[in-house]
Structure 1
Amino acid sequence: MSIRSTSISRLPDGLPLAASVDDAQAETDLAEYKRQIKLIIRKLTPTSEPRASIESGPYYIHYLVENNICYTVITDRSLPRKVAFGYMQDLASEFYSQFAQEMENPRLRAYAFVQFGTI
């Protein structure tokens, strides 16, 4: 029962800002679910549900949208939803406190905040 992968993207352009560093096996195992996350992020709008859980194969994809940033995690089905959203809420608070000023920059590059993944 664990969180398999984490990513942070800016809405509405879907720019990936940070992500967990997954080992080669996890990258292979989770590739399809990461593609699904990209599709989900593209479809989110300001009127979308700000948090949701989507069952997908042996995993859940959870997302949380705050301050035009989408936090997503892929978890085992056995991980309680409350734990996943608590983790994302903590992640959102920490990320926003560190990078609030920089997130709106239209010239940000993909994974501009990669150093956040090491925290």
Structure 2
Amino acid sequence: MVKLTMLARVADGLPLAEGLDSERQQDLEQYKQQAKTLFKKLSQGPPPPSRMSYESGAFFLHYLIEDGVCYLTLCDRGYPKKLAYQYLEDLCKEFAAANGGQVETVARPYAFIKFDTVIQRTKKLYQDTRTQRNLNKLNEDLHDIQSVMTRNINDILGQGEKLDHVSNMSQNLASETRKYSAKAKDLAFQALIQKYMPLIVVGGFLFMFLFIRYYVFGR
């Protein structure tokens, strides 16, 4: 069964639309966050595969990338992969026809929230895998469906945590370096004062002595 559907712009991971049953929203929040993290990772580094499936607990995350848009759905583990990708392809056709030319220009998240009505309508067609319509689709030879790789979602989430950890370490190191640099300057200045303080004191007394002798008593 299809549980969650999200669309995002591949270039920067900006969420474009979402289809989610409100009564199940709390239960699926964890997977929604995983999907958002996945969108961010897809926007970084080399171009991602056009299709990929990720195992996450009792579910699978399937995504399809077309014309700069990532179409993602969360399904039960037992839901056929063929139907999941056929569902995404149908959404892709609908979205491209209605909003394809506007994807690159939007700046705010969920700019195409009204597409939820299309998501809900299309999802109903794919919920029951036993209908004749869906049985026929399961028998179709879908393009490249057998070659779609499956990974564990923790693989990409773990990479993100490692990158964040390295980034935090770099920031902390830079901060500590600035602190040590400032302390080193202070210590160098203090050492300079300690080194030349006796000369400064002697010079001060000598100046005062000469000043008093020639300008006070010399008159």
Q: TM (normalized to structure 2)?
A: 0.51
Length, aligned pairs only = 116
Structure 1 residue 27, shift from structure 2 partner: 1.2
- Please identify runs of 4+ aligned residues in structure 1 that moved more than 2 A: none
Give the Cα separation in 2 of the matches to 1:21 and 1:115.
Answer: 13
Q: Secondary structure at the match of 2:28?
A: helix
Aligned residue number for residue 53 of structure 1: 53
Aligned residue number for residue 35 of structure 2: 37
Is 1:28 aligned to residue 20 of structure 2?
no
Q: Secondary structure at the match of 2:47?
A: coil
The superposition leaves residues 15-68 of structure 1 with CA deviations (integer Å, 9 ceiling, x where unpaired) of 1111013223x1111111111111111111552111111110000011111111
- Paired AA for residue 114 in structure 2: Q
Q: Secondary structure at the match of 1:17?
A: strand
Structure 1 residue 104, shift from structure 2 partner: 1.3
- Paired AA for residue 100 in structure 2: A
The superposition leaves residues 70-96 of structure 1 with CA deviations (integer Å, 9 ceiling, x where unpaired) of 011000011100000000011011101
Give the gaps of 5 or more residues in structure 1.
Answer: none
- The answer on whether the counterparts of 2:13 and 2:42 sit within 8 Å (CA) in structure 1 is no
Is 1:16 aligned to residue 15 of structure 2?
yes
Is 1:77 aligned to residue 77 of structure 2?
yes
CA radius of gyration, larger in: 2
Aligned residue number for residue 88 of structure 2: 88
Q: TM (normalized to structure 1)?
A: 0.91
Kindly indicate which of the two structures has a greater share of residues assigned to strand: 1
* Aligned alpha-carbon RMSD (Å): 1.2
Is 1:66 aligned to residue 72 of structure 2?
no
Identity level (%): 40
Q: Secondary structure at the match of 1:28?
A: coil
